[in-house]
């Protein structure tokens, strides 16, 4: 088969590699029908994730068709159309029993495209398949479901739910790339008073408005703190979601939030950020961080299947499966290309 293979920082290629096979009785082999690229893949290519070694097939999001299963797989069978989740779950360890699948101790967690070969290929081996792949309802498109592999549960769980968003709250999302936009979409489920999108890219602010933000702030042109204070009687927002992964955007979130408010960090940080406890301790501010657990995936599947969410609207560019190098080029230059999510299909 062919696959997108990592060869060290800044180097990748579309290579001929061996087909995956069932190794453990809980494995499934899935033919990849649709796949996407994540910002985390760009971090890997930048050399920010040293656990990823030369020769690793990248990718942790896919929709496909089951072609083979191990003898221990009980809920999947060949021919079924499935979502391959970014998180793999053994289902038995103490963290899986708490639905904290991202912290799985039994060989799961974020392993696809990280510690084992991933989904940016013609076929992928899915460990613990009963717990890590989801049968797709009829009538739902590959593009809609593909967004549930990572970005939608990440925005929902790590941003909206960890942030404790409640009806009538005001929420600010700092950074409205794909994850931030997924947070905008799922925040609307809680009927907040305001969903405020903050970014420096006009195209992304336009996308945020189309997806449910009622206020947009270009932080390159105006002071977001002053703008938000003017909207909230000087208090700040109830929830600030950091969806960039930079020290300055995290620190901005701590200035945007009101006393008693919550800061939910979603962004992947590669550098230390200053935590101004000298200012925050007296304001009763709660700060949360987290890797997605994907416990919300079944509920999100239902919301998509019933028409309450349409995450397919995040897709801006489409490619054939063999056009990975072109797709990476487009995805890596969103300021020039306007890319949000790219999808490659068989």
pLDDT, averaged in runs of 10, over the chain (346 residues): 97 98 98 96 92 97 98 98 98 98 98 98 98 95 96 98 98 97 98 98 96 97 97 97 96 98 94 93 96 97 96 97 97 94 97
pLDDT number for residue 234: 97
Using CA atoms, how far apart are residues 326 and 5, in angstroms rounded to an integer? 15
**What would the pLDDT profile of 147-173 be if each residue is shown by its tens digit?**
999 999 999 999 999 999 999 999 999
Alpha-carbon torsion 210, 341, 34, 303, what sign? negative
Q: Are 149 and 182 in contact (CB under 8 A)?
A: no
Domains of the chain: 2-149+293-345 (3.90.180.10), 152-288 (3.40.50.720)
pLDDT number for residue 126: 98
pLDDT number for residue 180: 98
Q: What is the 3-state composition of the chain as percent helix, strand, coil, each rounded to the nearest 5?
A: 30, 25, 45
Alpha-carbon torsion 171, 173, 179, 184, what sign? positive
| HEC secondary structure over 3-28 | EEEECCCCCEEEEECCCCCCCCCCCE
* pTM tops 0.75, yes or no: yes
């Amino acid at each position: 088969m062919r696959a997108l293979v990592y060869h060290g920082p800044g180097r990748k290629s579309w290579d001929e590699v061996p087909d995956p096979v069932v190794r453990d009785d809980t494995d499934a082999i899935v033919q990849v029908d649709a796949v996407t690229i994540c910002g985390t893949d760009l971090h890997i290519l930048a050399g920010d994730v040293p656990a990823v070694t030369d020769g690793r097939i990248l990718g942790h999001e896919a929709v496909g068709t089951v072609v083979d299963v191990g003898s221990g797989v009980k809920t999947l069978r060949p021919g079924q159309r499935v979502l391959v989740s970014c998180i793999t779950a053994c289902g038995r360890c103490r963290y899986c029993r708490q639905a904290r699948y991202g912290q799985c101790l039994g060989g799961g967690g974020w392993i696809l495209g990280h510690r084992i070969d991933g989904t940016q290929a013609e076929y992928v081996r899915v460990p613990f398949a009963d717990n890590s792949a989801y049968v797709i309802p009829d009538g739902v498109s590959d593009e809609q479901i593909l967004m549930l592999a990572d970005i939608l549960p990440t925005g929902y769980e790590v941003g909206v739910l960890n942030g404790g968003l409640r009806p009538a709250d005001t929420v600010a999302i700092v950074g409205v790339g794909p994850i931030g936009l997924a947070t905008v979409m799922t925040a609307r489920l809680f009927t907040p008073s305001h969903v405020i999108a903050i970014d420096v890219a006009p195209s992304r602010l336009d996308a945020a408005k189309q997806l449910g933000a009622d206020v947009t702030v270009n932080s390159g042109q105006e002071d977001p703190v002053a703008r938000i204070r003017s909207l909230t009687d000087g208090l700040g927002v109830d929830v600030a979601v950091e969806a960039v992964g930079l020290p300055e955007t995290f620190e901005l979130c701590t200035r945007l939030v009101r006393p008693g408010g919550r800061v939910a960090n979603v962004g992947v940080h590669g550098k230390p950020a200053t935590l101004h406890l000298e200012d925050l301790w007296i304001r009763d501010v709660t700060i949360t961080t987290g890797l997605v657990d994907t416990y919300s995936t079944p509920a999100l599947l239902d919301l998509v299947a019933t028409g309450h969410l349409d995450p397919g609207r995040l897709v801006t560019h489409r490619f054939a499966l063999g056009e990975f190098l072109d797709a990476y080029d487009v995805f890596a230059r969103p300021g020039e290309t306007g890319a949000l999510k790219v999808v490659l299909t068989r």
